[in-house]
């Protein structure tokens, strides 16, 4: 089974669209293949870090899907993008990781269950995901 996670944009308790220019700016320097658009309108990227690690990224409105990220520096790219976008990161086990400042923007039912951190960093991600739920090591 492939590992995947989702990044979500929320505003005032509702799903909101990501700034596509900010997403493109964050991913274009590491895109291994030019972006494409799927039948449902999602913009797809295949990104590659300097160490050769890769991931598939799909952007549609307020959701960014990250599929099959490999162990390596590609994780830093994903985490930096999540932090830059002020995204909530939904881990495969259902844990929601987001910046403390975003608590008021989360849907009411998610506010008390989210793992809130000052900023989304690789260390915060690793702590929230646990040692056996992600392929960083």
Residues β-bridged to residue 99: 117
The residues, ordered by sequence, that sit 6+ positions from 77 with a Cβ below 8 Å of its Cβ are 26, 27, 30, 47, 49, 55
Asked if pLDDT for residue 1 goes beyond 60, the answer is no
Measured CA to CA, the distance from residue 17 to residue 62 in angstroms comes to 4
The whole-number average pLDDT for the span 94-118 is: 93
Asked if pLDDT for residue 36 goes beyond 90, the answer is no
The whole-number average pLDDT for the span 16-42 is: 86
**What are the tens digits of pLDDT across the range 46-104?**
999 999 999 999 999 999 999 989 989 999 999 999 999 999 999 988 889 999 999 99
The pTM (predicted TM-score) of the whole model is 0.88
The residues, ordered by sequence, that sit 6+ positions from 7 with a Cβ below 8 Å of its Cβ are 18, 63, 64, 66, 81, 82, 85, 87, 88, 89, 90
């Amino acid at each position: 089974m492939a590992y995947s996670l989702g990044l979500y944009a929320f505003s005032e308790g509702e799903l909101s669209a990501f700034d596509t220019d900010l997403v493109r700016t964050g991913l274009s320097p590491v895109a291994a293949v030019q972006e494409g658009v799927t039948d449902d309108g999602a913009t797809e990227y295949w990104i590659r870090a300097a160490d050769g690690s890769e991931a598939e990224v799909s952007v549609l409105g307020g959701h960014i899907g990250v599929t099959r990220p490999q162990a390596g520096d590609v994780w830093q790219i994903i985490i930096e993008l999540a932090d830059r976008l002020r995204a909530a990161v939904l881990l495969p086990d259902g844990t929601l990781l987001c910046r403390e400042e975003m608590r008021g923007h989360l849907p009411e039912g998610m506010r008390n269950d989210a793992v809130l951190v000052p900023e989304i960093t690789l260390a915060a991600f690793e702590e929230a995901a646990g040692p056996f739920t992600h392929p960083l090591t």
